Amino acid sequence: MVIDKVNKVMSKKVYVDTLSCESDKKVGSDSTIFDNVDSYSRFKEFLWILHQADKRCLEELLGKRIERNVELNSQIEKSDRKIFQRKIVRSSKNYNLTQVAHLLNVHRQTIYYWIKKSWLKPKRDSRNYPFCTVLDIESLMKWRNSVKKEVEKSL
């Protein structure tokens, strides 16, 4: 990194001491002498123009990056929006344990046994009653079918 350390105006000459720094250690120094204030001002203007060009280039790169991210997110959103909406709708429907037992064709006491064994972990409503969502019931059905298949294989 080049840092302007000292600007001195002495007898119509401008001295600019620059230091090359690396990890806060002095690597080397260079002294540039300008014949007059006009050449120094042109040099400062040149540096300002370079700075502005770098700034514009950086802004363009950041803008392209943001546009690319927005485009990717919109593509992801389009495909996943439907999936998320379906999941939200399905997870918003709540079933009490009697309804769950009826859907699974088992006795209500079986559901309570599964809860006791921690095979089913229902959520609780404001009255602390257990309930299950469609997603819970689907995962329970998959678990139940896998257990049935294991039992059939063992026989």
Query: Structural domain tally of the chain?
Result: 2
Q: What is the pLDDT of residues 100-150, one digit of tens each?
A: 999 889 999 999 999 999 988 999 989 999 999 888 888 888 888 888 888
Task: Return the pLDDT at 130.
Answer: 93
Q: What is the pLDDT of residues 63-86, one digit of tens each?
A: 888 888 888 777 766 667 677 667
Question: Could you tell me if residue 81 is inside a domain?
Answer: no
Whole-number Å distance between alpha carbons of 36 and 13 = 5
Two tokens at 138? 């689907």
**What is the DSSP secondary-structure string of 63-105?**
HHHHHHHHHHHHHHHHHHHHHHHHHHHHHH-EEEHHHHHHHHT
Same domain, residue pair 48 and 97: no
Query: Which residues form the domain of 18?
Result: 1-55
Q: What is the pLDDT of residues 30-72, one digit of tens each?
A: 445 667 778 888 888 888 888 888 888 888 888 888 888 888 7
Task: Return the pLDDT at 96.
Answer: 92
Question: Could you tell me if residue 138 is inside a domain?
Answer: yes
Question: Could you tell me if residue 62 is inside a domain?
Answer: no
Same domain, residue pair 97 and 147: yes
Q: Is 148 exposed, middle or buried (0-12, 13-18, 19+ CB in 10 A)?
A: exposed
